[in-house]
Amino acid sequence: MSNPPVQENKMGYVPVNRLLISMSVPMMLSMLVQALYNVVDSVFVSYIGEDALTAVSLAFPVQTLMIAISVGTSVGVNALLSKNLGEKNHQAANRAAENALFLALIGTIVFIVFGIFCVRPFFAAQTKDARIVEFGSSYLSIICVFCVGLFFQVMLDKLLISTGRTLYTMYTQGLGAITNIVLDPLFIFGIGPFPKMGVAGAAVATVIGQIAAMLLSIYFNLRKNHEIHLDLKRFVPHLETIKRIYAVGIPSILMTSVSSVMVLAMNAILMGFSSTATAVFGVYFKLQSFVFMPVFGLNNGMVPIISYNYGARKKKRVKDTARYASYYAMSIMLIGTLIFQFVPDVLLNFFNASPDMLRIGSVALRVISFSFVMAGFSIVASSVFQALGHGMSSLIISVARQLGVLVPVAYLLSLTGNLHLVWWAFPIAEVVSLVMSVVVMQRVYQKEINHLPDEETA
């Protein structure tokens, strides 16, 4: 292979498979660590009691919404910034980065207000159990009021990813996760000089970890990310840049927000059976993050490669990136399916599972995991759509799957009075998503990729 031009970003010339692995593996590892500390949070909380675990499960939709807004906005930033770099438009890339931090600040302010005024009514609307309301309110109010670490760490990490510096995000997320894991038992159970805070202690450990990760990401962006130059002293919001960010970002936000609405609806359906069923659903979401998070990490490595090469009009590199990502995602999901099928009881016992939780949860994990391999392809397809500026297609598929199919099917199955049948709504919804993803992928390929010039090398 000939030496690349001096100014060429590695996303334009390194062999695709090697590039995808080098950019994705650090993100996959960091997201596995992220999944670990989410799970550890619930593991420790489960030893306070099942009510505490249910409270954290009921808080999950708001946390999902926070992640939706932060990650969705950063996806728009990632796609725009990478495309600008592919086009060698460094001024536009810098402007995108500056506006990204402004949008992170807006998101932070919104959830601080929610944390102060809306948390307790949110829980009271879901359950009349005063103990669950108290646990949930103390936990979620801290998560929201101190969300600055979450919003800025996500955005700053995306700036690193956009320029191909994914290794540094492994360090930032690793620091946040390790900090949280270490502090969780100290604050929850009051070990040594630390106060015994119960469920609130889990929230304190989480926000401290997020802020630590944010500070390290600030350092890496200032010292290591030389392709982006921030001039915040003279910053003025740039409306056109914000509109271009949200052209991709809003569909991504809405797509993840749909998941938040879905969880709220599923919690309502499952509470009709028992609080244990709701706790099982919450545990499932924690456990499935070990399977889904690596795929999301793979996507985070894939999106800037596709966006860059699309901007540089390199057809074969775009196609090969999507193809390799699909193979890897479906392989990861297959491993997850096998684990959920053969050792569900082992997984549930990490959460101090009662006999009733084991009975309900074993069936739930086995049935839902039938959808994993299909989900692997659909997740990659969705990110390809976003990278090519078709975020609305991702949104339509997500809404159809989660609100148009999953929730109605789950509700109809719940009318049978058989809780075990409710879990089959997940595989049914994923079949619909797979069919839609294949159809849209063919359309997007014809519109965006097919006309690009052919290349002989990748």
Find the DSSP H helices in 47-129.
Answer: 50-86, 90-117, 119-124
Mean pLDDT of the region 100-114: 95
pLDDT tens across 374-383, in order?
Answer: 999 999 998 8
Q: What is the model's pLDDT at position 9?
A: 67
What is the residue-wise DSSP string for 306-347? Answer: HHHHHHTT-HHHHHHHHHHHHHHHHHHHHHHHHHHHH-HHHH
pLDDT tens across 445-455, in order?
Answer: 888 887 777 65
- If you ran DSSP here, which 8-state letter would residue 452 be given? S
Question: In angstroms, rounded to a whole number, what is the distance separating the alpha carbons of residues 201 and 1?
Answer: 55
Task: Answer yes or no: are the C-beta atoms of 26 and 169 closer than 8 Å.
Answer: yes
Question: In angstroms, rounded to a whole number, what is the distance separating the alpha carbons of residues 50 and 349?
Answer: 13
The pLDDT of residue 456 is above 80: no
Mean pLDDT of the region 363-380: 95
Whole-number percent of the chain with pLDDT over 90 = 53
Q: If we measure between CA atoms, which residue out of 283, 219, 41, 282 comes closest to residue 142? A: 41
The confidence band for 1, taking pLDDT boundaries of 50, 70 and 90, is: very low
Q: If we measure between CA atoms, which residue out of 23, 108, 88, 34 comes closest to residue 298? A: 23
Question: In angstroms, rounded to a whole number, what is the distance separating the alpha carbons of residues 32 and 288?
Answer: 11
Q: What is the model's pLDDT at position 411?
A: 97
Q: What is the model's pLDDT at position 7?
A: 53
The confidence band for 283, taking pLDDT boundaries of 50, 70 and 90, is: very high
| Amino acid at site 88 | K
